[in-house]
Amino acid sequence: LKPLARIPPSAPPRAQAGRRARAMDSSDSSRLPVGSSESTGFSVCHRHSAKSEGVEAPLAESKSRAETRLGALLVRGRYHKLPARLEHSYIIDPKALGTGYNGSVFAARRKYTTSSTRYAIKSFALRGASAGKYQQLANEVEIILSMDHPNV
């Protein structure tokens, strides 16, 4: 499974597959133009509400540090922005592969391709999270963005 980080913005609860999200897709970074809406299965919310502002700064710092280590092109191919939604580019298995402290992991396949590559999508629970939790999330996103291994 290829890793994908999925982070829903502060919004009313919905089915896991129906939330807006962030993405990291290491296998497709060279196939689609950076910033292309087609390249985004997961998203970064830029609707600067009071709730999302607390997440944006730590995530921007994490993205910047990952770009310094791996290069901007590689990281930007994994880090995408709204308005694209997860469902636009991926078919998600509703059954969780596993659940951990920061959220659940789901299996997914890319739509509109003949490839059988499977991806792991991690969902993060942000509702009511403290500043410390946001920083922990930013650290995890940085680690995921920094991975560059064919078996991960």
Residues annotated within the binding site are: 122
CB 3 within 8 Å of CB 119: yes
Summarize the annotated binding site for ATP as residue ranges.
122
The separation between the first and the last C-alpha atoms of the chain, rounded to the nearest angstrom, is 7
Strand pairing category for 103-110 and 90-100: antiparallel
Phi, psi of 31 (to 5 degrees): -90, -25
Edge-first strand listing for the sheet containing 103-110: 2-6, 118-123, 103-110, 90-100
